[in-house]
Structure 1
Amino acid sequence: MQTIGRIIAVAAVGAAAFGLTGCGSDDTGGTATTSTAADQPGGQVAPSESKGRECVADDIEVKGGFGEVPQITIPDDCDPPKQLVVKDLVPGSGPGAASGQQLTMNYALVTWSDRQQLDSSFDRGEPFELTLGDGMVIPGWEQGLEGVQQGARRLLIVPPDLGYGAGGNGVKPNETLVFVTDAVAVPQN
């Protein structure tokens, strides 16, 4: 299992490259498609028929409280969101995280297409440290962790353009990512 810490720097470069090469509009006016696991060359996520609605945060089932290994269940009756979804599942306290601050986070990552856990700092017993706004993490984390308070458990549903885009480092191209994060330490100044 690869850690987000080891693949994050490569992901930031890959996401930037994806953003530069994917500048066309994705509004085709047709039926929306979503990502599902399929026998695709190169492990790509294949489009499938729309379920008729995008999932919202409340559609994702998360069991476990702050500090506990989360159990994440992604439904199969709705499409992955096209925009970043952020929801605090357990409230924190104190000031919210701001750009330039060092955060200590625990996280679990489940991929939308196969609904399997790809990575978990909880399982390793080793939280992940990052400096918010320094480009150390994928854009979905940079945006999704703004304002997080110490002690908060936050759900992030990250669309491909804010995640790993074209894929790599264990993540399939065009994959939607579901993170459950715990803010272990947020500066209190």
Structure 2
Amino acid sequence: MSDQSMPKVNAVFGATPEVEFQGAAPQGLRTVELVEGDGPVVRKGDTVTVNYHGLIWGTDKVFDSSFERHQPASFGIGVGQVIRGWDQSVPGHNVGSRLVVSIPPEYGYGSRGVPQAGIGGDDTLVFVIDIISTR
């Protein structure tokens, strides 16, 4: 599968993400590194600090964005503190990287979704993630 299936995103670390969808969501968990950082590599078990922008595939509906809050988020990665799609896609990338990740329900919030956030059980999620630091 080629990266053409993934949404177009501005490849500028730190800039508010602009996401443009084309076509249907790809199958499975997909990660594309738009900007390769030159900082330390994120490892499972690290505490990572990121800015992120989350949308439902094919919509302009942002359900959560630390960019919009101007407040990065920090959490343990690879240890079950966040959805599986994050735990499996962020480790192995460097600080300073911008990722775009397509997360199907089974790697996200499952068949229940998150009704209060407007996320349905069959929605594919898209996150743009800027990795700020890791420790």
- TM-score exceeds 0.5: yes
Q: Aligned-pair distance for 1:83? A: 1.0
From 156, 181, 184, the equivalent of 2:129 is: 181
Aligned 8 A contact 1:164 1:174 in 2: no
CA distance in 1, matches of 2:58, 2:14: 26
Instruction: Give the equivalent residue in structure 2 for 1:159.
Output: 104
1:180 and 1:122 mapped to 2: Cα distance?
Answer: 10
Give 1:172's aligned residue: 120
Structure-2 residue corresponding to 1:71: 18
Any runs of at least 4 consecutive aligned residues in structure 1 with deviations exceeding 3 A, and if so which? 56-59
In structure 2, the residue matched to 1:61 is: 8
Provide the rounded CA distance (Å) in 2 between the counterparts of 1:80 and 1:115.
14
Secondary structure of the residue that 1:88 maps to in structure 2?
A: strand
Larger radius of gyration: 1
Shift of 1:142: 0.2
Structure 2 residue aligned with 1:121: 66
Deviations 1:26-60 (A, max 9, x none): xxxxxxxxxxxxxxxxxxxxxxxxxxxx7x53341
Tell me the distance in 1 between the aligned counterparts of 2:90 and 2:50.
Answer: 10
Which TM-score applies when normalising by structure 1? Answer: 0.65
Query: How many correspondences in the alignment?
Result: 131
The residue type paired with residue 68 of structure 1 is A
Q: CA deviation at 1:95?
A: 3.1
Question: What percentage of aligned pairs have identical amino acids?
Answer: 34
What 5-or-longer segments of structure 2 have no aligned partner? none
Normalization by structure 2: what TM-score?
0.89
Aligned to 1:142: 87
Alpha-carbon distance between aligned partners in 1 of 2:3 and 2:75, rounded to the nearest angstrom: 24
1:129, distance to aligned residue in structure 2 (A): 0.5
**For the Cα contact (< 8 Å) 2:11–2:98, is it kept in 1?**
no
Q: Is the 8 A contact 2:9 2:17 kept in 1?
A: yes
Root-mean-square deviation (CA), in Å?
Answer: 1.6
| SS class of match (2:110) | coil
| SS of 1:123 mapped into structure 2 | helix
Match of 1:102 in 2: 47
Q: Please state whether the residue corresponding to 1:105 is helix, strand or coil.
A: strand
Q: Distance in 2 between matches of 1:83 and 1:141?
A: 13
Bigger share in strand:
2
